[in-house]
Structures are given as structure tokens and as C-alpha cells.
Structure 1
């Protein structure tokens, strides 16, 4: 079905029950017994996430006789990467997808599992489910690769700045990536990117200091929530639960009145003075406007 730099996806039939499935196989090998055991242990733990209605069902994991790790998963109809390339989503549909995927992240983070590669290609849909998150089981494979930062491993368009500094990942990584994904499916390309081509690593780091523009036809309140989730400082982002609640409370009626003006801040300025000045104001405005408590 597809081949990438690190994995190949096959369409197959599970003979025992006669259903079609997707098999994602890592291109490289896990040659040591220790790495294979770790993959099986952690991938199976991540597989528990598939009990959530908005996580792709993971049926089995294993290692082939020639040492390639694989996952057998639910076969879906397509991804939101395909959707956004054909026709970007309206704000309401993007908001609804965000609620579902954020709820999946709430479930996974509560169980100590990070996704670490949320992006439009990993948000899938089927006839029965408008949004499911794929590839939880592949997070451990990313850890087993060369630890040096490469554009291919990080999916740079959706990776937050701390991942390029080799910081330990946290739930804030998934929140950033989901907000960047929601912006992309409405815009047709990732935030701040001028073209579909990947920039150099130096150019990419400079992009984090640029503001995230408004989008035509997208309510300002939704863009503000996404900017909040894409703060350069991971401590300034909402949790997955807060993001889900913010999206749920959003009224996307373009004629809605706003009784409280948005705070003034420089979205691209990450200096301590400006960050500390605008973070509480923006957070207070968002939570107050939507009538929810900061937990």
C-alpha cells in the first residue's frame, strides 16, 4: 500500500476470520534478542490503547524470521493527509476531529503512553469512524533508531522545538503535534511552511520564532486555541485534557460576539519577559471565554 523511509505498509487478509488488515513492517531489522523483546513488550503495552474508540485497532505485533518488526492493524479507508491534499477541512470538522484525537491522547497519557508522531498521515478515517489515531505501537521503534535528530524521524512539520534539543518527551509533544495537525488540515500545509518541501534544519528552527497566521474563514477563537497548543515552551501548552475541553467548548458560529478581547502578545517571541507576560493573559482569556476551569 505504501513505502516510506522507515516502514512499508501491506494490505493483507487474515485467513482465520476472513478480514482485510494493514501490516506495517519496519524496513530495518532488530538484530539483538534484547531489542526484539523490548519491542514486543512495549508495542503490546501500547496496543492496550486500541481499546479507545478513536485509536486504530492493533490486532497483533511480532518479528519476522528475518528480524523485521511488524504490526497488524485495522485497515482504514484513508488518512487526513489525503483529505487535506484534496480539499482542506472546514473549521467545524477540524474541531470535531481534534476533540476525538485529543480524547484518545487523554486516555494514552493517563496510561503512561506517548504517541510522539501525531500528524495528518496518522489520523485515519473509515466508513464507521471519522477519526482514529494510528501508530501507537511504532513509538518504541523510533527510540531504537539512531538517536541523532533527522528530519525523517521527527516528521519536522509537526514536531515541537524541544524534540530538536533532545529533551525528554512529554505529553506536551503530542499536544503540539495535534494542534499543528489541525491547523494543517484546514490550511492544506503545516503551520509556517510556505511550500510542501521540507526546509533545512537551520531554517526549520528559525520558523519557530515566526507567528502562526490566521486562516481565512476560520474563527479566531479556534486559531487561538491552536496557538496555545503550539507554544514554543512545552510548559505553556495545555494538557491533552484541557485541549479537548477547549475544543469542545468552542462556538464556531462566525457571528458570535466576543465580550473579552484577546490578549496582546507576540506569538513568535520566546523571550522570558514576553512569554511570561502573555501566557497567563492568553490562558485566562481562553478558559474564561469558554467557561471552563483550569485544571
Structure 2
């Protein structure tokens, strides 16, 4: 695979789409807003900044991305309309266009415990569905949980996980989102379903707290600091019942074997004695249509 400077990328040519315009750029992908010609609807197109140079890599991406696309039948997984590789060998995903992400929401108005619980139940169920089909997400984080007027929570970005896995070890840490990655991901252990459970619990903590667990500020800490954080306890949060924090702590155990499964996490969250959540997030008016975090 080769790397291209994101700023130098020309607008890609994607079959069946027109009027592509950049919406967001990230470390390893660019999101475009576009119109699907056949049905006249607006969609989000996520294009990898790197290229897949060999036919073997391209075939593997298409095979595994299409397998991940089967996850989109779940009501809390973003609709994936198509996948492919551009003429100049950049893999892409065509997805439903959503209104915003929980990364934006947590910065402007963090969730209360009941709303975070309901979000966790929905996304844990989506993850359990994918795990039952043998598909890991590997990058659960607030930027990859989207909301729209019609759906308060959908998980995005199953399809690009395989591209991250295919990179060599030298860029593995670049692809990780350290705030939501468990300790085993930093020692090159093979990913397991427990990785997604950890990331979801860290995400739920973050959307209530306004920043990731154990982080002292919004700035990204050094890798050494991140590794040291795993030895620090996860503190409680004002207004959040201790029972909920205990569930999230269990899901963020440093030992993958001690974490609940996604099904168990869903049931633990659903059983928390909290009041009803407030109005759906889709009605908050967070600006900006998206189709997953840019990277």
C-alpha cells in the first residue's frame, strides 16, 4: 500500500455518484457528501487516503467489507449501500448520510446517565449482532456513533476495519484511537470481541464526562501517558449512579477475559435502575451531516 498526502487528493470518481464535495478529512480517510444518481438521494462516501495496490488486497477488502455490510441490517448500524475501489485504487464505502455524531454531542452537551444507558443498550446490541456473525468492529468511539432525525444511534465504520488490519505494524498505532483502545491493542495482540466491549464502555463514559476516561484534558496525551493510564482507577462521575460506573469499569477491565460479552453488557446496562432518558439526540440540532468519523 502507498500513502498520499490527504491535501493533495483529487476528488475521486465513484460509480453512480455525482457532486462529490469534501465534508471532513481524517488521518486515514476522507468523507465526501454526494448524490446517488439512480435515486437522487444524498449519501456519505468514505474514501481511504491510502491505496490498495495489489489485486489480493483489493479482493480481500471487498470480501470483508461486504461481509461487514451485512451488519447494516441491524437497526442501530449505519446503512451501507455499496463498497468498492476507485480507479486509482482507493477503497471506499457509500453510506447513509446522518446529522451528527456523539463526538460533537459530548463536546457541546454531555449525556445524562439514562440517555447514555439507552445509547449503550442499542450499540451493545449492534455489536453483539456483529460478534455473532464473526465480525469485529475494532474502532468503536463517539465519532463512529451517529444520529439522525430518524434514528438516535447508529454505529458506523465496520467496513474500514479490515483496511486498518492490513497495514503494516509501523502504522498500527496511527490507526488506533488511543482514548478508546484497550491495553492489549498496544502490544500487538490479535483483536478479540473484548476489544469492542472495552471501547464501547470507554465511549459511554466519555459521552457523559465530555472527554475520555482518565484523560486530564482534551489534548491527546503521549503514548507513554496512555499506557500509564491503564494502571489508574476509573473515577466516578457526578450525578452518575455508582452501579452504572461499576458496569463500565467491568467493561474496561485490563484483562480481556474479565470483561462481559457484548450480550452481557447490553443486559447489564438494560437492568440499571435509572429513570427514562430525555428527548432523542436526533432533535438536538447538532449541525453537519456525516457518515462516520473521518479517521
Structure 2: distance between partners of 1:152 and 1:128: 34
Structure 2: distance between partners of 1:149 and 1:42: 20
Task: Name the residue aligned to 1:145.
Answer: 167
User: Superposed, which structure 2 residues align to 1:1-295 within 5 Å?
Assistant: 1-148=23-170, 150-252=172-274
Task: Structure 2: state its 5+ residue gaps.
Answer: 1-22, 276-295
Contact 1:149 1:164 in 2 (8 A): no
1:18-55: CA deviations, max 9, x gaps? 11100000001101111001000000000000000000
1:112-161: CA deviations, max 9, x gaps? 00000000000000001000000000110101222236543110000000
Residue aligned with 1:60, SS: strand
Structure 2: distance between partners of 1:234 and 1:149: 24
Task: Structure 1: state its 5+ residue gaps.
Answer: 254-295
Structure 2: distance between partners of 1:195 and 1:146: 31
Residue aligned with 1:114, SS: coil
Residue aligned with 1:130, SS: coil
Residue aligned with 1:148, SS: helix
1:142-185: CA deviations, max 9, x gaps? 01222236543110000000000111111000000000000000
Structure 1 length as normaliser, TM-score?
Answer: 0.85
Q: If you compute each CA radius of gyration, which structure gives the higher value, 1 or 2?
A: 1
Task: Name the residue aligned to 2:4.
Answer: none
Number of matched pairs:
254
Structure 1: distance between partners of 2:70 and 2:29: 22
Structure 2: distance between partners of 1:71 and 1:100: 23
Contact 1:122 1:134 in 2 (8 A): yes
